[in-house]
Structure 1
Amino acid sequence: MSCGGFQICAKRWMTGKNSKDRLVTPSEKVRTEAAFWVERMSRPAFDARDGAAFDQWMRSDADNRDAFAAMAALWDNGFVEPDGRIDPVAQSRPRSTAADQHSGRRRWVAASRFGATAAALVAIAFIPAILPRSYSSLPGQKQTIQLADGSTVQLGGNSEVDVQYLPWRRTVRLKQGEAGFDVSRDAHRPFDVQAGQVDVVVLGTAFHVDRLAQGRVGVAVTRGAVDVRTVNGRDRLAAGQAVRVTDRGIGRVAMQVEDSQWSAGWFVARNIPLSDLVEKLRRYTSIPIEIADDKSENLMIVGRFNVSDPEAALKGIESSYDIEITRRSGTIYISTSN
């Protein structure tokens, strides 16, 4: 389905017509739009305005995201020939070597003659990994992730992140748990950590983000500065400062030694709901912990707890507050004492 090169094909197909003025199907249009963006991002220079347009295109429809993912998967697994045809026996061949990938630069030129989709499949080999990549840890396990730009992410136990690097921004979505970040400075690509409804935006710094119960989030900065943003406001934090974000907004809190050494497994509760402490305990045990009633869930607690030893922490809570801890069918239940 050639129509005179990638750029001509893309422009015609994105308007809904091909070189013969045949109306293309919605699925063809989506694939071609995906091809356009892949080719656009393969260039050495990238305009930030294009980045915003790409973000909008990806957010606008799940089909757009699926088309992009499908192309990446096809190329990565060797299912595409240089002319854009699907190779039915590709699964029986070994994965390509570095030398094969180098020679693929010549195939990029050749493939462009066969239309936008084929060209995009080849282009994927030479652009940064633009699809999000997921990382997770088990309860009690810590994992350090080295990112392409030299930044590092240290996952706490029972935590999960999605990482996406694009030419105009770097994004990490903290889906659950906590993570520490040491970010390499890049003035042209902000580093954005998304934790629920909270965004933490930096250029280069070190900080910790903690997703707690009921949408609450803690942020503590050990080096540099960050912007904490929500729909209700924003705050700029310098090294040695911390905030706690709730449904009432962003509130400053005193930063404790334990905040900067969070991976040591200690947690300081400063008049916070019991549910936040329980969320911390879940990072260190595979045994489910449930709070049985609203009164216990919202019980305000104070203290320093070794959350890396859940049994000891639970005993400390039970001895200090009017609660009862029971075990049934492999689950730990916390409830108000009768």
Structure 2
Amino acid sequence: MSGGDKAVRAEAAAWLARLRSEDRTAEDERGFRAWLAESEDHRAAFEVTNAIFEMAGAADRRPEQARADLRVNRRHVLRAGMGLAAASVAGLVVYLRSGTTYATEIGEQHKVSLEDGTLVSLDTDTEIHVSMNDTRRQAKLRKGRAHFDVAEDKVRPFQVIAGDQRISTPRGHFDVSRDGMVVSVLLEEGLLEVELENPVAGVPMPRLLAAGQLVVFAEDKVVREERPVMERAGAWRQGRLAFFGEPLAEAVAAMNRYTRRPIVILDPEIAQMPISGNYSVGDPQAFATSISVLLPVRVEMERNRITLRRTEESRA
């Protein structure tokens, strides 16, 4: 590897550190885009450095680490990125030209820095495919939920394709989740335009969302609109789930997305009982134990599942 190659990869690692840092700024994003535009070597070096960092992190992650706070130390990323950038991975660049897939396992959450400066937070059991070129920025959400902190680019709006919906913005902060063909979009900051990927005659699209607005789509129809409490709606990015009077069945379904040891409600009559509280996404046993204190529910810890049934006293 030539001295020039080493220097470019060291620069790529430094930019990766800046973009992953908690204190990154709009000036960092502008500087990164300018550096990226200087040469094709810069773009290739960053793609390789970021991809290797992601693969190395995936190999080392354990379930308990995935549940921990995902804040990244700039010095640690810089040190790790510079080492990874020295690897010989010429064949990887060709693959990355067609896009890159990022995914999390059940119970895992992860953050990804994209080449344009956009930061993506992936929730449990989520998969996205990202492709970028000189005219477009696009991410396809194949399943799960992701939060997008989009770096500004007025020429290339960032697009998220989820089910039948195309979500577009030049810069913004928003969640998109997909469960089959049901797509939820929650805008935290900025402006979003949502339209059908394949427009249908008579459907009023595109639709503009305002900050704080949640819209749920099922194919070409809007099935729900609301303005949730943003602190609760975004709690999953801190590894928490907050409930305020939701039916127990809904809370259990949300918790089960993060575990291979599901909670099972055995008595239908307790499914609609309201539950409130703030819980760690990776601890279904603690959640179930708390339920047994708050509601007339008996918990049984089985090997492959946790069961909830109504207590005998409450039946009397």
TM-score, length-scaled by structure 1 = 0.50
* Residue equivalent to 1:277: 251
In 1: Cα distance, 2:134 partner to 2:265 partner:
44
Preserved CA contact (<8 Å) 2:102 2:129? yes
Tell me, yes or no, if the aligned pair for 1:289 and 1:331 is still in contact at 8 Å: yes
In the alignment, structure 1 residue 222 sits paired with structure 2 residue 188? yes
Contact 1:158 1:282 in 2 (8 A): no
- Equivalent residue, structure 1, for 2:149: 182
Amino acid across the alignment from 2:151: S
- Deviation digits for residues 4-43 of structure 1, max 9, x if unmatched? xxxxxxxxxxxxxxxxxxxxxxxxxxxxxxxxxxxxxxxx
Deviation (angstroms), 1:178: 2.1
Is 2:152–2:170's contact at 8 Å kept on the other side of the alignment?
Answer: yes
Unaligned runs of 5+ in 2: 1-87
Query: Contact 1:216 / 1:244 at 8 angstroms: preserved in 2?
Result: no
Q: Is the 8 A contact 2:263 2:284 kept in 1?
A: no
- Supply the AA of the counterpart residue of 1:159: T
Aligned residues: 217
Task: Give the SS at the match of 2:167.
Answer: strand
Q: Where does residue 131 of structure 1 map in the other structure?
A: 98
Corresponding position of 1:238: 210
Asked if structure 1 preserves the Cα contact closer than 8 Å seen for 2:187 and 2:214, the reply is: no
CA contact (8 A) 2:184 2:217 kept: no
Percentage identity across paired residues of the two chains? 25
Give the aligned residue type for 1:303: S
Question: What does residue 263 of structure 1 align with?
Answer: 237
Deviation of residue 292 (structure 1)? 5.8
**Of 249, 267, 277, the match for 1:304:** 277
Aligned to 1:330: 304
The alpha-carbon deviation at position 204 of structure 1 amounts to 1.2
Looking at structure 2, the residues matched to 229 and 271 of structure 1 have their Cα atoms a distance apart, in angstroms, of 33
Amino acid at match of 1:305: N
Give 3-state SS (helix, strand or coil) of 2:130's partner: strand
Q: CA deviation at 1:243?
A: 0.8
Using the alignment, how far apart are the partners of 1:207 and 1:327 within structure 2? 37
For 2:118, the equivalent position in structure 1 comes to 151
| Cα 1:272–1:176 shift into 2, 3 Å | farther
Query: Are residues 1:209 and 2:176 paired?
Result: yes
Map of 2:140 onto structure 1:
173
**CA separation in 2, counterparts of 1:228 and 1:271?**
30
Which protein has the larger Cα radius of gyration, Structure 1 or Structure 2?
1
Change (3 A) 1:172 1:322: farther
Residue 249 (str. 1) matches residue 223 (str. 2)? yes
- Please give the alpha-carbon distance, in whole angstroms, between the structure 1 residues aligned to 2:166 and 2:267: 31
SS in 2 for 1:312: helix
Mapped partners of 1:166, 1:142: distance in 2? 27
Question: Residue 142 of structure 1: which of 102, 105, 109 is its match?
Answer: 109
1:189-234, Cα deviation, whole Å (9 max, x unpaired): 332223334443222111122346x765443323211124467656
Q: Secondary structure at the match of 2:287?
A: helix
Unaligned runs of 5+ in 1: 1-94, 102-123
Hey, what's the Cα distance between the residues in 2 that align with 1:132 and 1:275? 38
Give 2:225's aligned amino acid: G
Structure 1 residues 25-64: aligned runs within 5 Å: none
Distance in 1, Cα, partners of 2:269 & 2:162: 27
Shift of 1:272: 5.0
Q: Aligned partners of 2:259, 2:293: CA distance in 1, in Å?
A: 21
Partners of 1:326 and 1:314 lie apart in 2 by 9
Aligned-residue offset at 1:302: 5.0
Q: TM-score, normalised by structure 2?
A: 0.53
Q: 1:286 aligns with which of 257, 260, 263?
A: 260
